[in-house]
Structure formats: C-alpha cells, structure tokens
C-alpha cells in the first residue's frame, strides 16, 4: 500500500480541524477528509451554535498558536451563576477566586471555523481533501487504505493512522462496529441570540428548570446566547411562537436577572442524544470528539472534551514524529486510551447526572439539590474543585493544556 500521509483525519469539523492545526509543523504529513466545503452555510460543524470554551481550552489554543486568531471574536466569562427555577438554592463562581483572567470564553462555532481555516491555510503540511466523503477503509499491518469520493471520482489514499473526527454518527466507528452506549435525552436544545435590558457583565447563567436546563451565555456586542433544553414534546410549540410570545415564555422560565428580555434572533433546534463509544482505538484507528462521545450541552463541555482528546493525541503523535517511530502503532494508541479514559467518562457522568437530577421533580430531591447548591456557594474548597473540573484543569495535563507548544 502506498502511504500518502502519516495521519489522515476523517472529518474537518471543529475537533478534526483542531487536531490538524495542533499537529501542523510537527513534521507529520496530514490529510483532512471533509464532506462539506468549508465556506458552505450547510457545513454542519461551523453553524450558528455558540460554544462556551473553558479556560483549559483557551490554554490549549494558546499552546497551538490558535488563540490570537479567535480572541477578537471571543467574549470572556468572568462569573457563573447556577440556580433552579422557583427554588431557593444558587451558587456563584468567579474568575478572581480562581486566579484566572476568565473562567472561559464564548464564541460562535462559525467564528471558530473561520479562525481554524485561516490558520490552516498557512500550513504547508496539512492537505484538505474537500469536499470529499470517506466511503470505506481497510486496515493492514502497516497502514490504512481509505476509499473516498471526491467530486464524483473515486480515490484511494493510504496513511499510517486514521483519526475518526467524523461526528456523533461517525461512519468510521460504524464500519468498525465499535459498540455504542446510546439514548435520547428526551430533550431538544433551542439556541438563539437574545438582547436583554441589562448588560450581562460577563456572567454565564445556568438555570435548571423542570423541563431541562437553560443557559444564557455572555456574547460580544452585549448580546446573550440562549441554549434552552426543552422536553421534546414541548419543542414544536416553542419553535412556532412568534418572537414576542417566545420572549414572554423565556422570561417566565429565566426570570429577571438580566431585566426585560427585548429581542430574539433566529432560533435553531438540536435534538439531544447521549453517545459513548465503548472503545476509542482499534489497530491504526483512533476516535476523537463526538465520534467518541456526544454529551448533553449542559455546562458546555462537548467541544472542550474533544479538544482535550486533541491535546493528548497530538502530544503522543508529536513525540512519535520526533523519534521517527510509527504514529499508528498500537502501543501509542493504547497510551491515548489510558490517558483519556477517566476524563471522558467523568465528564459524561457529570453532564448526564446534572441533566437527569435537575429534571426530577420529587420534592425531597429538589430540596437536597438546592441545599447542595447553597453548600457549593458557601464552601470555597468545594467551589474550587468544581471550578477546576469545568475549567478542564483536572488530571494529568498534556503539554498543550499547559500552554507549551509542540513545535
Ligand atoms: C446546542 C449545542 C450547544 C453546544 N454548546 C457547547 C458549548 O457551549 N461548549 C462545548 O464545548 N461544546 C458544546 N456543544 C458540543 C459541540 O458542538 C460538539 O462537541 C462539537 O461540535 C463536536 O465536534 P466534532 O468535530 O467532533 O463533530 P462535528 O461537529 O459533528 O463534525 C464532524 C465533521 O465530520 C464530517 N464528516 C462526517 N462524516 C464524514 C464522511 N463520511 N466523510 C467526510 N467528512 C465527514 C462532517 O461534515 C463534519 O464537518 C454544543 C452542542 C450543541 C448541540
């Protein structure tokens, strides 16, 4: 088999393109197969959704050299306010207590796509196969041969390692028949930009309601970004409301912490599913991002988790490049799995538990979780632990997560 690339990444969405960027300049030849033209409005990864980036992700982007390209489009989160609708409990986190410039940042997926594209254009060792669709692949002892469709013509390309960054429906994972834990949350996230009477002052609000969590994230130009997870059976009604009725319904659920909600932009709905691949590597193949784990957007962890996959895999691959060893060897892939396993499972468990626990209307449970929120607010040690988890600063950190470049 002819080896055209060291690393072939299936999927040039947010996580796949981030891996290509992290590896650029490492000496590895990288190919990225992406089905949608990057500047297309239909590109599914770089759409209207808004992404809360953790402080840990900011540090990874610093290490990658990507942060200066995204920073002008990113609004800092300096405080987080967590509460439950109609209940007494609340908890607050802020950047000063954690000794950081910001707890995180908010940027649109579209802005992240533009920053990644701009940065990648200058990298001679990254080649885009786009628009092109991965059709199938076969694994041999020394590489992977991928069959793809590019502009109606079939092509074959070879690589030492195939990285599946092809999203929640991952065709690569499907072809390998990797077992999957999967279920619907019974909730759909409605996103929209909202303008409120009072300035957000950098505060991200996470409000739990009996039908699902609702987040209002601070954005540039004084706007807020809404992520409203509603029960599936309520979504058609909510989406059909005119803007005034929608704002009224939202105000009723969110309350008046930002004063009167005045305007709402285009609404988009995303049905939510939990998916966890039971294996994240097979010979010459590694899964990253949503291909490995798709979780509830409560507390905004999905891309952050995927970027931590990127930081660890890039760390191991950059060392392999320096040592001129095989980047697709099984020992390296096993190290990747061991390093990522705990963080992936912990974040899936936390987001899953939050989405379920706060949706449970049982009065004793409601009372207990509100006491829990007050406890969190009052105990600095506990607050610090929770903040570090959400900032993506727990466990053994790869070089990029410590802000150290790989090249
Ligand atoms: C409403 C909502 C809000 C969210 N908010 C946050 C947040 O605040 N913070 C956060 O960290 N995360 C958030 N997330 C999660 C985040 O959006 C995802 O984790 C992230 O987009 C996953 O990126 P990915 O690159 O792994 O997958 P995707 O974005 O699905 O990208 C997969 C790519 O693979 C390509 N592809 C698929 N199949 C093929 C093929 N056969 N050939 C070629 N290309 C292919 C696709 O075209 C696509 O570009 C949110 C998610 C939702 C739904």
Q: Is position 368 within any domain?
A: yes
Q: Is position 234 within any domain?
A: no
Q: Distance from the CA of 209 to the center of ligand 1, in angstroms?
A: 26
Name the token pair of 173.
Answer: 């994972």
| pLDDT recorded at residue 40 | 82
| pLDDT recorded at residue 211 | 79
Q: Distance from the CA of 407 to the center of ligand 1, in angstroms?
A: 27
Q: Is residue 227 within 6 Å of ligand 1 at its C-beta?
A: yes
Q: Is position 232 within any domain?
A: no
Q: Report the alpha-carbon distance of residue 102 to residue 202 in Å, rounded.
A: 9
Instruction: Please provide residue 6's backbone torsions phi and psi, each rounded to the nearest 5 degrees.
Output: -75, -45
Summary mean pLDDT of the chain: 93
| pLDDT recorded at residue 34 | 97
Q: Look at the block and give the residue holding tokens 């800092």.
A: 76
Reply yes or no on whether the pLDDT at 378 is more than 80: no
Q: Is position 322 within any domain?
A: yes
Substitution site in 297, 306, 355, 390 for ligand 1 pocket (most atoms within 8 Å of beta carbon): 297
Number of domains into which the chain is organized: 1
Higher pLDDT, 14 or 359: 14
Q: Report the alpha-carbon distance of residue 164 to residue 270 in Å, rounded.
A: 22
| pLDDT recorded at residue 42 | 83
Longest dimension (CA), the chain: 65
Q: Is position 105 within any domain?
A: yes
SS3 310: helix
How confident is the model over 290-311, as a mean pLDDT? 95
Ligand 1 atom showing the smallest separation from residue 290 Cα? 26
Q: Distance from the CA of 290 to the center of ligand 1, in angstroms?
A: 6
Please, what sign has the CA dihedral across residues 256, 258, 260, 263? negative
Q: Is residue 113 within 6 Å of ligand 1 at its C-beta?
A: no
Q: Is position 73 within any domain?
A: yes
The total number of residues written for the chain in this structure: 407
Reply yes or no on whether the pLDDT at 376 is more than 80: no
Mutual orientation of helices 302-322 and 55-64 as an angle, nearest 10°?
A: 30
Ligand 1 atom showing the smallest separation from residue 33 Cα? 43
120 vs 10, 16, 23, 315, CA distance in Å? 16, 12, 11, 19
How confident is the model over 157-162, as a mean pLDDT? 98
Task: Show Cβ contacts of residue 271 under 8 Å, excluding neighbours closer than 6 positions.
Answer: 184, 188, 232
143 vs 22, 26, 96, 257, 329, CA distance in Å? 22, 20, 49, 56, 9
62 vs 65, 66, 77, 122, 182, CA distance in Å? 5, 6, 17, 17, 34
Give the model confidence (pLDDT) of 354-375 as tens digits: 877 777 777 777 777 767 777 7
Q: Worst-scoring range by mean pLDDT, 3-7, 36-40, 282-286, 290-294?
A: 36-40
Phi-psi region of 40 (alpha: psi -120 to 50; beta: other; left: phi over 0): beta
Name the token pair of 251.
Answer: 């105000």
Higher pLDDT, 307 or 212: 307
Instruction: Please provide residue 58's backbone torsions phi and psi, each rounded to the nearest 5 degrees.
Output: -60, -40
How confident is the model over 31-36, as a mean pLDDT? 97
Q: Is position 207 within any domain?
A: no
Contact indicator for 399, 59 with CB cutoff of 8 Å:
no
Q: Report the alpha-carbon distance of residue 335 to residue 320 in Å, rounded.
A: 12
Q: Report the alpha-carbon distance of residue 224 to residue 242 in Å, rounded.
A: 19
Between β-strands 104-108 and 50-54, what pairing exists: parallel, antiparallel or unpaired? antiparallel
Q: Is position 262 within any domain?
A: no
Q: Report the alpha-carbon distance of residue 165 to residue 144 in Å, rounded.
A: 16
Q: Distance from the CA of 42 to the center of ligand 1, in angstroms?
A: 13
ipTM above 0.95, yes or no: yes
Higher pLDDT, 388 or 35: 35
Residue 355 belongs to a domain with what CATH number? 3.50.50.60
Name the token pair of 188.
Answer: 């759909």
Q: Range of 305's domain?
A: 5-182+273-402
Ligand 1 atom showing the smallest separation from residue 217 Cα? 8
Please, what sign has the CA dihedral across residues 137, 138, 144, 150? negative
Reply yes or no on whether the pLDDT at 391 is more than 80: yes
Substitution site in 167, 187, 311, 351 for ligand 1 pocket (most atoms within 8 Å of beta carbon): 167
Q: How does DSSP classify residue 269?
A: E
Q: Distance from the CA of 250 to the center of ligand 1, in angstroms?
A: 26
| pLDDT recorded at residue 294 | 95
| pLDDT recorded at residue 32 | 98
| pLDDT recorded at residue 367 | 74
Higher pLDDT, 85 or 49: 49
Q: How confident is the model at residue 332 (pLDDT cuts 50, 70, 90)?
A: very high
Reply yes or no on whether the pLDDT at 298 is more than 90: no
Q: Report the alpha-carbon distance of residue 204 to residue 33 in Å, rounded.
A: 35
Substitution site in 13, 163, 175, 270 for ligand 1 pocket (most atoms within 8 Å of beta carbon): 13
| pLDDT recorded at residue 320 | 97
């Amino acid at each position: 088999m002819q080896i055209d690339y060291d690393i072939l990444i299936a999927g040039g969405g947010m996580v796949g393109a981030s891996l290509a960027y992290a590896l650029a300049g490492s000496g590895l030849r990288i190919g990225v197969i992406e089905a949608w033209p990057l500047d297309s409005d239909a590109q599914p990864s770089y759409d209207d959704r808004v992404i809360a980036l953790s402080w840990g992700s900011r540090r990874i982007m610093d290490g990658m050299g990507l942060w200066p390209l995204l920073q002008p489009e990113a609004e800092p989160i300096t405080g987080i306010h967590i509460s439950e609708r109609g209940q007494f409990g609340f908890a607050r986190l802020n950047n000063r207590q954690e000794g950081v410039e910001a707890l995180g940042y908010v940027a649109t997926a579209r802005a992240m796509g533009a920053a990644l594209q701009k940065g990648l254009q200058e990298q001679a060792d990254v080649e885009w196969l786009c628009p092109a669709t991965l059709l199938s692949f076969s694994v041999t002892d020394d590489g992977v041969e991928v069959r793809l469709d590019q502009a109606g013509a079939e092509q074959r390309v070879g690589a030492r390692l195939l990285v599946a960054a092809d999203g929640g429906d991952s065709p690569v994972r499907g072809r390998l028949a990797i077992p999957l834990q999967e279920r619907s949350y019974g909730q759909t996230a409605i996103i929209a930009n909202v303008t409120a009477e009072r300035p957000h002052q950098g505060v991200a609000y996470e409000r739990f309601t009996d039908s699902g969590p609702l987040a209002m994230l601070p954005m540039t130009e004084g706007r807020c970004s809404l992520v409203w997870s509603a029960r599936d059976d309520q979504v058609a009604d909510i989406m059909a409301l005119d803007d005034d009725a929608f704002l009224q319904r939202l105000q009723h659920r969110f309350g008046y912490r930002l004063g009167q909600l005045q305007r709402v932009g285009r609404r988009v709905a995303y049905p939510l599913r939990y998916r966890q691949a039971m294996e994240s590597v097979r010979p010459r193949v590694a899964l990253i991002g949503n291909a490995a784990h798709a979780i509830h957007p409560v507390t905004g962890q999905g891309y952050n988790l995927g970027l931590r996959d990127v930081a660890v895999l890039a760390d191991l691959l950059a060392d392999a490049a320096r040592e001129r060893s095989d980047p697709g060897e099984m020992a390296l892939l096993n190290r990747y799995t061991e390093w990522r396993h705990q963080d992936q499972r912990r974040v899936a468990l936390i987001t899953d538990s939050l989405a379920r626990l706060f949706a449970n209307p049982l009065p004793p449970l409601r009372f207990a979780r509100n006491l829990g929120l007050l406890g969190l607010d009052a105990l600095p040690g506990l607050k610090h632990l929770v903040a570090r988890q959400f900032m993506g600063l727990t466990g053994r950190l790869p070089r990029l997560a410590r802000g150290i470049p790989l090249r």
